[in-house]
Structure 1
Amino acid sequence: MNAAKDLALSRDAVADPEVKAANARAATPRRKAPAAGPAPQVAGRPKFHESARAQVAGTATYVDDIPEIRGTLHAAPILSTVAHGRLLGVDAAAALAMPGVRAVILARDIPGDPMLGNFAHDEPVLAQDTVQHIGQVIGVVVADSVMQARRAARQVVCHIEALPAILDVHDALQAQSYVLPPVFVKRGDAAQALKNAAHVMHGTLEVGGQEHFYLEGQVAYVLPQEQNQWLVYSSTQHPGEVQHWVAHALGIDNHALRVECRRMGGGFGGKETQAGHLAVWSAIAAHKLHRPVKLRLDRDDDFMITGKRHSFAYDYTVGFDDGGRITGLKLMMAVNCGFSADLSGPVADRAVFHADNAYFLEDVEIASYRCKTHMQSNTAFRGFGGPQGMIVIETILGDIARQLGLDPLDVRRRNLYGIEKRNVTHYQMKVEDNILDQLLSKLELTAQYRRRREAISAWNAGSPVIKRGMALTPVKFGISFTATLFNQAGALVHVYTDGSVQVNHGGTEMGQGLNTKVAQIVADELGVAFEQVLATASDTGKIPNASATAASAGTDLNARAAQYAARNVRDNLAQFVAGLDGCDAGAVRFAGGEVLTPGSARPFTEVVKLAHANRIQLWSDGFYRTPKIHYDKATLTGRPFYYFAYGAACTEVAIDTLTGESRVLKVDILHDVGTSINPAIDIGQIEGGFVQGMGWLTTEQLVWNDKGLLTTHAPSTYKIPATGDVPEHFKIELWPEPNREDNVFGSKAVGEPPLMLAISVYEALRDAIASARGGKKGVRLTAPATAENVLNSLRA
């Protein structure tokens, strides 16, 4: 008997009457299977976000919605009011005397390692002998209610002796104050190339940070379990890291702790590491008091405590020829990391990797300084250093075009990656999937770039106050974690006897539609309806050691792992059915809710019941690791990315030269998502990413005073884009070509790359400013381009 017939089992050998009956039904002739053809697909079609209806109805559960069990206490943070100083003591007497207050937790109450379990091991769980920024958490007050805890936390007196503070990246450079050693990348001979250049230009640039401003603030809920086990509900992009950090702080093994996250109300990188802090603080309090503890930050505290997008300062010298092609570049990037390393190393590395954006740099030197300041420790943010790398090269090319009197798009196209010798990056990765020239050519035509530039010139000639500008800029963004070990994922797929399917994977859902796409892929693999597949909460007790949902790799990794798990189940069923029908397993197809062989068609649900009766495995795991990637962290050379995602945006803006106010008038985007798994979700991601990037570069200004206090710490003082800021003309088209690498469904990542399309807004603003100023001078515009900064640029 062959393997297929072994799986089908011999009906004569089965004694169970129920199994006999099921096998008898299987022997009954079925309707003839239809001719082979393409199966109807769930993937590739716009599907509602799996939580959309629940979110609209208000029934979607977030961490703060989880019913609190009896005895739950609430925590609130005690914050430093000094940017840098010696912590001499903490007087909590007044707080402890307040109604409902149960305890004040300080560093001495940490049962495990007092330093967080991150890779740099340079950040204390709670401040010990020193404080290093205003808003650093010194301890937490635990009380019966949220408001009791918050009111009591304000009554705690911290005795701090102030020390000199570094509050500016330039001061950090002068003091050689770094969280990590500087990194240098070099190709060719930049110094000689600059000597030989027909034209040389020097410049500087300042680009600010950005607050994540997720709708759901940071929150954790920790519940002690039996036998020193723990359950943590965390609004986190990285449950595995929360598990590791909490276990590290409590001094217990990882297996004693389970972290669950059903969904987040936004993350954008701000919940990759920062969510771990709240879970650790809550766990220490729960450990001391033997009670469940919840900690949810209010918006002001969230601003003061958590890290932001890294601000950058740049200094560059560039050489170029008469046509605007860059012949040599020396670039210095100073990264404001805040008081600890956090994720600053890989963020700064990615900025180095993306300092080319879409352009070939033959003779180049890049220096990256990872500066320590006495400010919040900056962290991951959508794009993860890529935007900060790209904006400087786009600034350089825009000013080259102005100096030479050329159209900026023509200068950009002359510098694009090409073929043969012009297709290798400065970090030695070959650009093998280059579609830049074709993509820009198409957008140039569909956006009517040339005609509109003429119309803008005519407008500006006749308008003394309102000036318009336009820019078309490309994006080439590398997809994969720069930390190679994170490029792996696991998943579980369970098929139940009623034909319903459950999938669990290591990714987290933060509104981006990851669970929806994973369910679409699994549905196609099993040939069932989308509605039959349920994606469940991320859970370290199901998928261990999962990577963060970040780097735009959530779908690439987790959907592929889930596909492999579903394929294992499908192969088990195919082999079983092949044994029943006496055909090869390769001839069995799954489509339209049916299992098809050359001689029969059975409902999927019936096949599942029959397989279960014959003891066929109906669940499986799947594992995926990204192929081809490797690089040397010491030299920053190799192939850090599996592939590149491309895109381009053409943006038209207007500025008021009297007030500095600006408005985005029109946006045309052509973006490469490969073969889209869900076009509706992908277009939504492109829209959201662009608008978030527009906010970073126009209105979202973080301001610290000379004492190191963040003064923009609430919606009243920090302005994210609103619906009124979205241009009426906002046209998005998807590039029609599948991913040339073997990625799930032929798709490409879509989370981060669209944010960098918004650099076209910044360049369009500079174009308008240049028109207002006249001449061929470069335009220095500090980002974000607030009204004040636009006015300063006009007057420079």
Structure 2
Amino acid sequence: MKFITVEVDTVRSINLHTYNSLQFFYKSASGEPLGCTLPAIWGKLATSSSFHQRTEMIQEFNRSNKWGKRGISRVPVTQEVNVRPTPGKVSNLRDGSIVVEVGRVDMGQGLWTKVKQVAAYGLGLIKRDGTEELLEKVRVIQSNTLSLIQGGITGGSTTSESSCEAVRLCCSILVERLTALKEKLIEQTGTLEWETLILQMKSSLQLNQSSSRKLDPLQLHFRVRFLEYYLWYPFCFTIFISHAMHAYQTSVNLSACTLFIPEPASMHYLNYGAAVSEIVLIDFIFTNGEDVALQVEIEGSYVQGIGFFMFEEYPTNSDGLVTANGTWSYKVPTLDTIPKQFNVEILNSRRHQKRLLSSKASGEPQLILAVSVPCATRAAIVEARRQLGSWNGVVESNSTAFQLEVPAIMPVVKEWCGLDSVEKFLQWTMGTK
């Protein structure tokens, strides 16, 4: 069996996707040439993480230490995602509070936080610098299949993106409805308070509803008789009609519901990212638009990926049934799984005008990038096996001839490093004397 001696990072750099290769593999999802940011991310990450300098430092460390080995790995990712139609609903209540509903589920990915921010941003356009003021007034409630009948599934990393766009569309409708009265209110009072604006709309709406309610024939008869009787109050009657007409003209529906349907050009697109892992140090660059994808979700997805690749072993019995029934035997990421130093950079690419704030999906692509952790672990194992091979007289190329399965749990890592390394070292020491 023969193995190439080229460094794995060199192989990845040679085979990095170009726009031409993306067109071949992903066709229409490849987008515009300027949107292919993977080569730029790859080079930028090498610079920002000092990848090549750290690689040399790690090599020097491994040469100088017999019992401690380090590894480093740089990994790119290109993932195609699909945006699905998503409903949303935004309602303004009488007290000025804002209620938002989306057809998807918040399962820890921060969906409701993002939706809340977008609602405040969208309605804040009615007033300069109004986003921060409105943020405290927004609350998200869980929808059901009656309030939003086209909820769909939660998954595919595009739930937040599509839900936020649905909410933004609702806010645009409401802002358009509120703009006319806003200008009139400013002319009358010189100021604009959100509660006053909403209360004015509510009052106008209630007056309009009371003046335009349909009457049955008997009610209509008595109403006509009543007006005939009081016709000698023409001034009061005129005032009533005037207010009724004004209410009809200014009344606004303070609830908006939309179904966001992505355009064909933006329904499929590619996500790019890259990560460098050095066991205790993580450097991360991911492409995105404005800060819709929260950094905390990126970090959380990455840590979840570390759990998948390094801890979460699912033992089975002879029948193929999983025997782990709790965290005693099934290890999930915990607080000490988070890297001591975790550098995350979001590359702001504003070229995606067809998507919400030029944003891209966050979630699964970052989880996949956590594969850099077992790759860095494998690099450290290779150094340990080379050290062991020097004591055994084994050919160096054999030190890389092993398959590190996932999850790379600690007992497996120790076994590949050599459980008898101390004995081999002592035998080698005695033999050289």
Q: When the two structures are superposed, what TM-score results if normalisation uses the length of structure 2?
A: 0.74
* Counterpart for residue 756 of structure 1: 368
Q: Distance in 2 between matches of 1:754 and 1:692?
A: 9
Q: 1:627·1:642 contact (CA, 8 Å) conserved in 2?
A: no
* Counterpart for residue 423 of structure 1: 22
Q: CA deviation at 1:673?
A: 3.0
Q: CA deviation at 1:441?
A: 1.1
* Counterpart for residue 500 of structure 1: 97
Distance 1:415 1:688, change over 3 A: same
Question: Is 1:440–2:47 an aligned residue pair?
Answer: no
Distance 1:448 1:488, change over 3 A: same
* Counterpart for residue 474 of structure 1: 76
* Counterpart for residue 273 of structure 2: 647
Deviations 1:185-214 (A, max 9, x none): xxxxxxxxxxxxxxx98xxxxxxxxxxxxx
Q: Select 2:111's aligned residue among 489, 493, 514.
A: 514
Q: CA deviation at 1:427?
A: 4.6
- Based on CA coordinates, which of the two structures has the bigger radius of gyration? 2
Q: Distance in 1 between matches of 2:193 and 2:326?
A: 56
Q: Select 1:603's aligned residue among 164, 186, 193.
A: 193
Q: CA deviation at 1:779?
A: 3.7
Residues 571-610 of structure 1 mapped to structure 2, 5 A cutoff = 571-577=176-182, 580=184, 601-610=191-200
Relative to its length, the structure with more strand (as a share) is 1
Residues 309-458 of structure 1 mapped to structure 2, 5 A cutoff = 403-419=3-19, 421-432=20-31, 433-458=35-60
Q: Distance in 2 between matches of 1:725 and 1:550?
A: 25
Q: Distance in 1 between matches of 2:107 and 2:90?
A: 21
**Counterpart amino acid of residue 147 in structure 2:** K
Residues 690-769 of structure 1 mapped to structure 2, 5 A cutoff = 690-738=302-350, 740-769=352-381
Q: CA deviation at 1:596?
A: 6.5
Q: Distance in 1 between matches of 2:81 and 2:367?
A: 14
Q: 2:29·2:270 contact (CA, 8 Å) conserved in 1?
A: no
Deviations 1:38-63 (A, max 9, x none): xxxxxxxxxxxxxxxxxxxxxxxxxx
RMSD: 2.6
Q: 2:96·2:194 contact (CA, 8 Å) conserved in 1?
A: yes
Q: Distance in 1 between matches of 2:260 and 2:92?
A: 20
* Counterpart for residue 278 of structure 1: none
Distance 1:780 1:601, change over 3 A: same
Aligned residue for 1:426, secondary structure, equals helix
Q: Distance in 1 between matches of 2:69 and 2:88?
A: 54
Distance 1:577 1:723, change over 3 A: closer
Question: Is 1:460–2:57 an aligned residue pair?
Answer: no
Q: CA deviation at 1:506?
A: 0.5
Q: Distance in 2 between matches of 1:572 and 1:716?
A: 57
Distance 1:691 1:505, change over 3 A: same
Distance 1:556 1:533, change over 3 A: same
Structure 1 residues without counterparts, runs of 5 or longer: 1-199, 202-402, 482-486, 581-594, 630-638, 653-663
Q: 2:89·2:100 contact (CA, 8 Å) conserved in 1?
A: yes
Distance 1:507 1:709, change over 3 A: closer
Aligned residue for 2:54, secondary structure, equals helix
Q: CA deviation at 1:609?
A: 2.7
* Counterpart for residue 542 of structure 1: 147
Aligned residue for 1:458, secondary structure, equals helix
Question: Is 1:770–2:393 an aligned residue pair?
Answer: no
Deviations 1:685-711 (A, max 9, x none): 122111111111111111112133422
Deviations 1:468-501 (A, max 9, x none): 11101112222226xxxxx111111111233221
Distance 1:719 1:526, change over 3 A: same
Aligned residue for 1:499, secondary structure, equals coil
Q: Distance in 2 between matches of 1:533 and 1:565?
A: 14
Q: Distance in 2 between matches of 1:450 and 1:477?
A: 26
Aligned residue for 1:445, secondary structure, equals helix
* Counterpart for residue 381 of structure 1: none
Q: CA deviation at 1:453?
A: 0.8
Q: CA deviation at 1:425?
A: 4.2
Q: Distance in 1 between matches of 2:73 and 2:143?
A: 42
Q: CA deviation at 1:749?
A: 1.9
The higher-RCO structure (CA 8 Å, 6+ apart) is 2
Aligned residue for 1:512, secondary structure, equals coil
Relative to its length, the structure with more helix (as a share) is 2
Distance 1:501 1:709, change over 3 A: closer
Q: Distance in 2 between matches of 1:429 and 1:620?
A: 33
Q: CA deviation at 1:560?
A: 0.9
Aligned residue for 2:280, secondary structure, equals strand
